[in-house]
Amino acid sequence: KAGVTQTPRYLIKTRGQQVTLSCSPISGHRSVSWYQQTPGQGLQFLFEYFSETQRNKGNFPGRFSGRQFSNSRSEMNVSTLELGDSALYLCASSEDPKNIQYFGAGTRLSVL
């Protein structure tokens, strides 16, 4: 079974731009969570989607948003990028919210 796939692997943007990251979960998994990883703040939870509904949200500003499609693929969007948004963004999928989360390799976003 293929693992969690995140695209693209690397992105370079400039301040003020917006960006969309994609996550394809493991086949059969309906829950997708997103995390931001930075050297200063570590791993922080962004949001979780299950069956196209956001069921949990972390403490991030409204510039960070996400959605999930009927095939369980998920996207997250960051608008009006700031330098501090530079991070590794990790997606994790699970069969449902109570099961173990499996992580993708991440998308490394650099904001210049």
Nearer to other proteins, 58 or 75 (CB): 58
Euclidean distance between CA atoms 27 and 67, whole angstroms: 18
- The CB-of-16 to other proteins minimum distance in angstroms stands at 28
Selected range binding other proteins among 11-19, 67-75, 76-84, 91-99, rule: CB under 8 A: 91-99
Taking CB under 8 A as the criterion, the residue among 78, 101, 109, 111 binding other proteins is 101
Do the Cβ atoms of 50 and 96 come closer than 8 Å?
Answer: yes
Q: Where are the beta strands (DSSP E) in the chain?
A: 5-7, 10-13, 19-24, 31-38, 42-50, 53-57, 64-68, 74-78, 87-94, 102-103, 107-111
Q: Which residues bind other proteins (CB under 8 A)?
A: 4, 6, 33, 35, 42-43, 45, 48, 56, 58, 90, 92, 97-98, 100-106
